[in-house]
A and B are shown apart, each in its own frame.
Chain A
């Protein structure tokens, strides 16, 4: 399935770039929109970019290069896209891992606590907190964090990369709403499991509630949580645009947004291909994780 999916995505990515409004030649020769373009220069650049070729020819050329790893040069910056992706990916991975870690730690922790203290004060407080967390828009939170930690407390840098401290605010921004979702999903999944017969049996055998929750219910509730976390991780690996732009992390999302702004077709196409690949790989990883989490799947049994 991988090949047809990627092929389909490549066609869509290419067509999307072609169909979107705007003229890349204009974007190149008039980058800040303040200049008048010379027609002769316009014609030369258009020809150089191969934009005079019929669209199918352009697609075949692009695909041929993409298959050999040659993603071309950015229309706008004239830099090798492959090199730029390689330069930017580590920043995105760091941010994604940090966001993922916060989500796993706090999302699961809150979810387990809520399930174990169902309908108690802790559950109510955390439910309120997680609702708040998933309701906060990322860009607003980012601005708020900057206001508090930079302008008022002078504890963190506004943007750029100055070691671990530079990732704290972006990490919180990308993780906050996902922590809320993860916690609520964990709570629901564990409570679903706790309502099942095997839990009743385990409890009737004399196992205490904590052991039942952690050893049995939590373990079996991991399938939907893993799916959610896998998709979330794939999402932020594709670049958490808001956080990367506001905090100026030079990651994939930042690259994509400037490419979209400047009609940088090749970069946008490469980005779409990359994110598609990430999703395909992450789906595969999630499937493999299912086998580890629940060996019954290997035996062909139904999940849940």
Chain B
């Protein structure tokens, strides 16, 4: 073989480079429209935001697109723990809460031209029957949204009556946000519940382009039926799963702001704002709350006095100042401060009282305990530092603690097996109805109470939970939920630590950057700050 190896090597290298360059088609998409000095920036310049997840999970997902994107709308909106009309403009129930009548808005249409009316609404609800339909956000099912639904009756084109076999007092809360998505009937198969094409809703925006796990662009629905149409003509959300990369994208000006749960640690955002005057934080309350789970089945930890001692020994204000730049709120009651019927309960940091109570239970001996932390929570929040603080604080009252950071799945397995003493978790709202949370945590048969071995039981609580389920009077329901929250703060089946805030860090070129309840950004209020730029 008389080949020139020199030539072959050169060819080999050139070919390797050539192969690598093959297929690199230009995927770049210009993000800026043609500048027209006469038009405002909101009309011409696309705003780019960064999110942890793809805004459009797409086909296979119960909701297809994140609620925050404003593509589809629910019947009822949960706006900062107040239920407001969405596609249902009003609703009422009969005396025994077995019949609910919803009056739908009469001027809404899906963006494919289909009218939103009773038929469209009922067809959507038929879809829920194929559930639970799974999603990366939350599941959707008829049992979750319309428990014990017997039948749906079309009263007229814009009125639907739901009849239940059992009384339901908080249907409107269950239907809030992800509880009642309404999408064009052309987009799904009602029998399987599956979404079969790109989702079309009645919302302020329409999906324009989507590249899976990369970005999604949305354009304004110029025929929006309601008030406050979006100010931006279009916006784009880049999916950036890595936290360091998200941070760099923000600093480099590639994106104008961050959205989604845990998009940036509060202290990192605080430091950035202090070191770079291009950025600003607008903290808004979140539905996420930090809780300390205590394994009540373990010796001593089941004693309410020791749980009270633990709660007194934790200086929530200091935690807030140190870890969250003072942006969060100390928490003492069981419910998120974004839950309808939340009661503001105040507690205190009192180390002397904590020592006294702990001594009563432990009798001077030291208790050896283990705190387990799930990796997902550690990645999203400074809970490891929080655990280290608790390690120091609880050692003052005779509780020694070792901290283990574990894979999420292992953490869940350990919680379920009762193989832990403490766990810090960050939990959000299941729905706008506080019952599910309170029953799960405080009911003798409650899901988390049983599964995580809290061993909490109080006959008064069980009685109140049973009563509230059938209580039709909203004032009385509020009183019962208030009492339950008081008991939770006294007896501490779970110890609340901090109410989280969404930090909403963004470039000052943007204004109106406030979060929605589910940690997205309120798109309708979003706009470019300086129209003259």
Contact = CB atoms under 8 A, between A and B. Distances in A.
Highest count of chain A CB atoms <10 Å: which of B213, B239, B407, B425: B213
A215 B5 contact: yes
Given A23-B413, A36-B440, A154-B252, 17 more contacts: A21-B409, A22-B407, A29-B134, A33-B377, A34-B426, A36-B447, A45-B132, A45-B134, A45-B139, A146-B245, A150-B249, A158-B249, A158-B252, A163-B25, A247-B245, A248-B214, A248-B242
A79 interface: yes
A77 B136 contact: yes
B478 to A, nearest CB: 22
B409 A39 contact: no
A161 B214 contact: yes
Interface in B239-257: 239-242, 244-245, 248-249, 251-254
A218 interface: yes
Given A146-B244, A248-B241, A250-B212, A23 B13 contact: no
Given A21-B407, A157-B254, A159-B240, A94 B134 contact: no
Interface stretch (A8-16, A54-62, A99-107, A197-205): A99-107
Contacts of A171: 20
B315 interface: no
A147 B447 CA distance: 46
A31 interface: yes
A143 B249 CA distance: 12
Contact of A254 (B19, B134, B213): B213
A110 interface: no
B89 to A, nearest CB: 29
Highest count of chain B CB atoms <10 Å: which of A90, A94, A101, A147: A101
Given A29-B132, A97-B20, A167-B24, A21 B413 contact: yes
B24 A163 contact: yes
Contacts of B139: 28-29, 41, 45
The 4 closest A-B pairs by CB, nearest first: A22-B409, A78-B60, A101-B20, A34-B428
Contacts of A38: 143-144, 436, 447
B25 to A, nearest CB: 7
Interface in B101-149: 131-132, 134-139, 141, 143-144
B59 A160 contact: no
A21 B245 CA distance: 30
17 contacts: A23-B412, A23-B413, A32-B376, A34-B428, A41-B132, A41-B143, A87-B212, A97-B16, A97-B20, A150-B249, A154-B252, A159-B249, A161-B211, A162-B27, A163-B28, A248-B245, A261-B408
B507 interface: no
B430 A90 contact: no
B58 interface: yes
A215 B4 CA distance: 7
Nearest to A216: B5
Nearest to B289: A34
A21 B408 CA distance: 9
B504 interface: no
B38 interface: no
B458 interface: no
A108 interface: yes
B9 A158 contact: no
Contacts of A247: 242, 245
B26 interface: yes
Nearest to B447: A36
Contacts of A159: 238, 240, 242, 245, 249
Interface in B323-337: none
Interface string B225-241: 00000000000001111
A18 interface: no
Given A39-B447, A77-B136, A248-B245, A164 B24 contact: yes
A290 interface: no
A35 B28 contact: no
The A interface, classified by DSSP as helix, strand, loop or mixed, is helix
B66 interface: no
Interface in A263-295: 263, 295
Contact of B136 (A31, A44, A166): A31
A94 B24 contact: yes
Contact of B132 (A44, A160, A263): A44
Contacts, number: 192
A180 to B, nearest CB: 18
Q: Kindly state the interface size class of chain B when it binds its partner.
A: 35 or more
Given A41-B139, A105-B16, A295-B1, A158 B254 contact: yes
B23 A94 contact: yes
B57 A77 contact: yes
A182 to B, nearest CB: 12
A104 B245 contact: no
Nearest to B143: A40
A35 B336 CA distance: 12
Interface of A: 20-23, 26-29, 31-41, 44-45, 73-74, 76-79, 87, 90, 93-94, 97-102, 104-105, 108-109, 143, 146-147, 150-151, 154, 157-164, 166-167, 171, 214-215, 218-219, 245-248, 250, 254, 258, 261, 263, 295
A257 to B, nearest CB: 9
Contact of A100 (B16, B61, B249, B410): B16
Contact of B248 (A76, A78, A150, A261): A150
A86 to B, nearest CB: 12
A31 B136 CA distance: 6
Interface string B134-170: 1111110101100000000000000000000000000
A171 B19 CA distance: 13
B6 interface: yes
Contacts of B311: none
Given A33-B374, A37-B447, A161-B214, A101 B16 contact: yes
Interface string B33-61: 00000000000000000000000011111
B261 A41 contact: no
A163 B214 CA distance: 13
A199 B25 CA distance: 46
A22 B1 CA distance: 59
Given A159-B240, A166-B27, A248-B213, A31 B21 contact: no
Contact of A79 (B12, B59, B408, B409): B59
A291 to B, nearest CB: 13
Contact of A31 (B58, B137, B143, B448): B137
Contact of A248 (B13, B134, B240, B427): B240
A218 B10 CA distance: 13
Contacts of A39: 447
Contacts of A258: 241
Given A26-B412, A31-B135, A33-B376, A100 B214 contact: no
B412 A22 contact: yes
A261 to B, nearest CB: 7
A20 B132 contact: no
Nearest to B134: A28
Contacts of A73: 60
A160 B245 CA distance: 10
